[in-house]
Chains A and B, each alone.
Chain A
Amino acid sequence: MTQEVPSPVVELEGVDKRYGDGPLILEKVSLSAQRGDFVTLIGPSGCGKSTVLRLIAGLSPVSAGTIAVDGAPAGTLEKLSFVFQEPTLLPWLSVQGNVEVPQRLHGAGAAQRTEIARRSLELVGLSDRTGYFPRQLSGGQKMRVSIARALSVSPRILLLDEPFGALDEMTRDHLNEELLGIRQQLGWTAFFVTHSVPEAVFLSNRILVMSANPGRIHDEVAVDFPYPRTEETRESAPFQKLVAEVSRILRSVERLKP
């Protein structure tokens, strides 16, 4: 690999998506992300932002166009993780057992599994909860386990589908900061879906605003605040101004609805 030609980590080229004979969900979606990008997809309900993540993950095939993930077809990269809207844990396994699942499915030995799970749980600050079962955890803790599990495969790409949508604002803000902190250490490329404009602005360096019926990429907003970002970033005037601007674009997109 040569240094001077930065190839995109994820590249979508003229992607259409429909399920069966249903209506067009996505139309001519093209986007590319460079290594280390934190790209957030935001838009009205039903604009297909979650579908974009599913396509990148290879969970569903495109109807037209192409997707390249690390230069290969979608669904082939092992170092890619998906964090779902719900924690999506296996309730019969302990916290430790849940984080070990990806390694176990890949056939890793017990010692390696334990070590990787230990490190992943340390990253999300749950080292003292390894023996707990999911039902004994709060919503925020469950989400942390879900993130630890996603991190356990040392992902190059992390896809997060509205992971903090069900949490209260305090917990959400806190987890946002932690997520950026972990990213600072591990440096994956992230695709994030949310309904919250402040969350999008806080996390990303690029925001893609989508419109619905069919889903298209309507606009792109660059977020230039330097990382690491903190509580102060959130309170700063430029941050507030950008939140207002993205909200305005979002409202104009909502008005496009037929």
Chain B
Amino acid sequence: MSEQRQGLTVSRFARQLLPVATGAGMILLWCAIDLALSPEHRFLLPTPGAVARAFVDEGPALWGAALNTGTGALLGFGSAVALSFALALALSLSPLVRASFYPYLMILQMTPIIVMAPILILWVGPGLRSVTIITFLICFFPMVVNTTQGLISTDRNLVDFFRMCKASKAQEIFLLRVPAALPYFFTGLRIAGTLAPIGAIVGDFYAGNSAGGQGGLGFLAIIYSSRFQMGALFATAAVSCLLGFVFVAGVIALSWLALHKWHDSFSQADN
């Protein structure tokens, strides 16, 4: 028993050390590849030092762009969550409404969002509004589908139980169907949370505002690539990655707050 526990402690320590070691190994490999490249190709892969320098030199531009993209991502994500919830409620209430709207939701999902960019630029102009709408369009579908599925999957017996207690329709929806749908809702939210920063960056790439200080990470990537600023491009990628991480972490924190007490997805055995 105690031997087993000791083994567990060692492996837990090793488990925390492993990613750090892997990271260090990858940076070493990165430096080695740099050294192996011929001098005329070396610009293709900036050294870790060059990337770090780009972070300092381009810092204000990078963080400003991250803020712009993050704003678009958050606005698009937030409006997608709110509107998808309202639509999911409507869809869940009637099979007829579901049958009439689902085909169009599918069409929306099938349309590559990129082709929407030129339309949106003409409609609302480039910049935050376009980026927000593109993010919204990307996040909306998985949210609607998952939330609707959750709202119509309520345990039959629980519905019967509520009816026997003479619950009103509003009580049935808000005290039973909505909380029962939360795990589905958060599945949708995790998908949308992953897509939102990507959507905002892609949106910005095609429909970003070129006016000073208005562009986001996508726009910044275009600028840096046109100037062959490889260090800055790598830094842009790293900031984009960080933005995605912030979103996913936020969503996971929210779902933990809502579900950890009662839902099996957060049972102690799994974490």
Contact = CB atoms under 8 A, between A and B. Distances in A.
Interface string A75-96: 0001011101110101111000
Nearest to A84: B157
Interface residues of B, number: 22
Nearest to A60: B160
B165 A101 contact: yes
Interface string B58-99: 000000000000000000000000000000000000000000
B53 interface: no
A57 B157 CA distance: 13
**Residue from A59, A102, A105 having most chain B Cβ neighbours under 10 A:** A105
Given A105-B171, A134-B262, A135-B267, A84 B161 contact: yes
B165 A102 contact: yes
Interface stretch (B2-10, B138-146, B174-182): B174-182
**Residue from B161, B162, B175, B263 having most chain A Cβ neighbours under 10 A:** B161
A105 to B, nearest CB: 4
Given A90-B179, A91-B262, A92-B179, A80 B155 contact: no
A50 to B, nearest CB: 11
Interface in A98-146: 101-102, 104-106, 133-135
Interface string A48-67: 00000000011100000000
Contacts of A153: 165
B57 interface: no
B114 interface: no
B163 interface: yes
B164 interface: yes
A84 B161 CA distance: 9
A135 B162 CA distance: 21
Interface string A181-207: 000000000000000000000000000
Contacts, number: 54
Given A59-B160, A90-B176, A92-B262, A78 B166 contact: yes
A84 B158 CA distance: 9
B179 A59 contact: no
Contact of A88 (B158, B175, B182, B267): B158
Interface in A139-165: 153
Q: Interface SS of chain B: helix, strand, loop or mixed?
A: helix
A59 B162 CA distance: 11
A56 to B, nearest CB: 11
Given A90-B179, A133-B262, A105 B158 contact: no
A102 B175 CA distance: 12
A86 B157 contact: yes
A82 B267 contact: no
A90 B175 CA distance: 10
B254 interface: no
A91 B160 contact: no
B171 to A, nearest CB: 6
A71 B262 CA distance: 42
Contact of B162 (A78, A91, A105): A105
A82 B164 contact: yes
A47 to B, nearest CB: 20
B262 A82 contact: no
Contacts of B158: 88, 90
B261 A82 contact: no
Given A133-B262, A134-B262, A59 B164 contact: yes
B161 A133 contact: no
A81 to B, nearest CB: 8
A101 B163 CA distance: 12
A86 B160 CA distance: 13
B153 to A, nearest CB: 13
Given A88-B157, A135-B267, A106 B179 contact: no
B167 interface: yes
B164 A57 contact: yes
Given A134-B262, A135-B262, A88 B155 contact: yes
18 contacts: A57-B164, A59-B163, A78-B166, A81-B164, A88-B155, A88-B157, A88-B158, A88-B161, A91-B263, A92-B182, A92-B261, A92-B262, A101-B165, A102-B165, A104-B175, A106-B166, A135-B262, A153-B165
Interface of B: 155, 157-158, 160-167, 171, 175-176, 179-180, 182, 261-264, 267
Given A58-B164, A92-B180, A135-B264, 19 more contacts: A57-B164, A59-B160, A59-B163, A84-B157, A84-B161, A85-B157, A86-B157, A88-B157, A90-B158, A91-B263, A92-B262, A92-B263, A104-B175, A106-B165, A133-B261, A133-B262, A135-B262, A135-B263, A153-B165
Pick the 3 closest A-B CB pairs, nearest first.
A105-B165, A88-B157, A92-B262
